[in-house]
Structure 1
Amino acid sequence: MHNHSLILLEAGAAIKEVQDRLGQTDVQTTMNIYAHVTKKAKAKAMQKFEKYLNI
């Protein structure tokens, strides 16, 4: 389940969507477990920032 959740997040799913998929009642629980940022997620965030700045 952990890998599935991380893949969902890296694919762009919102944390709330992952929470629902896992059947967790509290989004904070989902955030505490899965909110660590992967290298791929960091790279995507930088790409979004660069795109916003039109670099």
Structure 2
Amino acid sequence: MTSRPVQRFSSAQKLMPVGLGQWSDGHSSDYQHLEEVLSPLVDAVNARLMAGS
């Protein structure tokens, strides 16, 4: 069974970074933790995009 991905969207003026995360071992539980791991990455990308505009 393949785990479903989690998604996180953000916006940086005219850009829209999208973060997708999925467990590499395929397990299908603990999606809240996966979202907690993905959020800082999307936030960092968004901050970089905002700083560069």
- Same fold, TM-score > 0.5, yes or no: no
TM-score range, shorter chain: 0.3 to 0.5
More strand by share: 2
More helix by share: 1
Higher relative contact order (CA 8 A, sep 6+): 2
